[in-house]
Structure 1
Amino acid sequence: MPRRKLPPQTPWTNSPEDVEAAFYEALSSGNLDALMALWSEDDDICCIHPGGQRLDGQAAIREGFAQLLANGGLQINAEVQHRWHSMTSAAHSVVERVPIDVDGQVQWGFVLTTHLFVQTAVGWRMVLHHASPGVPQTPLAALAPTDTLH
């Protein structure tokens, strides 16, 4: 498979936060090419959509997002709850608020998401997007991190 061309960037100037912001912007605008440019070129990447199967590699992830974006962009309000960074990797715990149509009424549902990023030769890139359904109508404050691990 030919390597896709990534946008030009200076390796040490972008951040995991930049990649995450661009990820949600690409989802909002429905721009599949911009979204896929944020992923590591390594085929050892993974995506799990809420209630979905594990998607491994560029082709499967691209197809999964193509299906999600088939009707246009997605409205997602994301709030990072926790960040962990090292020199070459980062993990973010995110609460996504998404509109859900329930009998013609828009209600908000919650998705609990984990993003993993790695520093590559071309800058920070995503290697994991794992999203699980949260409890509908849960206030964000109730999902804030605590000192309890499990």
Structure 2
Amino acid sequence: MPRFAHIFEAAADTLNAYYQAVAEVNIDSLMGLWIDEEFASYISADGAHLHGLDTIRAGLAVQLAATPVSIEPVDIRVYDSLGTVVYAIAEAHRPADPKVAPTMVFTTYVMVHERGEWKIAHIHASAMPNEAANQFAAKMRHGQGSLH
């Protein structure tokens, strides 16, 4: 087996660290996961376009302070090549208040392998249309996996 066969597993570690940092509202940890380049970009589910690390940091700080969430991946698709991994994920964004229903979001994460680490280069999140959100919510209520 080639030596790089397990290289993509570490990209999943970066994604899990992102989810953890979001849940903890830990902006420093969150920003440590991004590529150290000004071309980094983030399009949030509310439509805000953030370009550059300083703008992304400020936008995420405001967003997470206003609406802290934990993110549960519901359906994950992975596309990888040497040096790049793209995750297309249906996510449930669960507010801190357990009485509030989660927001369903489609998110694409683009990660690049830089200096031995997987870093986030781009995130594009879109609110899920109601029909799709209702289908995922029904599967979650019935304990079905996303592929049933």
Provide the TM-score with structure 2 as the length reference: 0.77
Name the count of aligned residue pairs. 130
Structure-1 residue corresponding to 2:35: 40
Q: CA deviation at 1:75?
A: 2.1
**Structure 1, unaligned runs of 5 or more:** 1-11, 146-150
Structure-2 residue corresponding to 1:56: 51
- Structure 1, residues 79-107: CA drift from partner, whole Å, max 9, x if none? 34210111100100011112469xxx522
Code of the residue aligned with 2:113 in structure 1: it is Q
- Structure 1, residues 18-40: CA drift from partner, whole Å, max 9, x if none? 11000000000010000000000
The 3-state SS of whatever aligns with 1:106 is coil
Q: Is the 8 A contact 1:14 1:123 kept in 2?
A: no
**Structure 2, unaligned runs of 5 or more:** 1-6, 140-145
The 3-state SS of whatever aligns with 1:75 is strand
How large is the RMSD of aligned CA atoms in angstroms?
2.6
Structure-1 residue corresponding to 2:142: none
Code of the residue aligned with 1:59 in structure 2: it is D
Q: 1:139 to 1:13 in 2, by over 3 A?
A: closer
Q: Distance in 2 between matches of 1:131 and 1:37?
A: 20
Q: Which one has more relative contact order, counting CA pairs under 8 Å at least 6 apart?
A: 1
Instruction: Answer yes or no: is 1:135 the counterpart of 2:135.
Output: no
Percent identity over the alignment is: 25
Task: Give 4+ residue runs of structure 1 displaced > 3 Å after superposition.
Answer: none
* Greater helix content: 2
Q: Is the 8 A contact 1:51 1:132 kept in 2?
A: yes
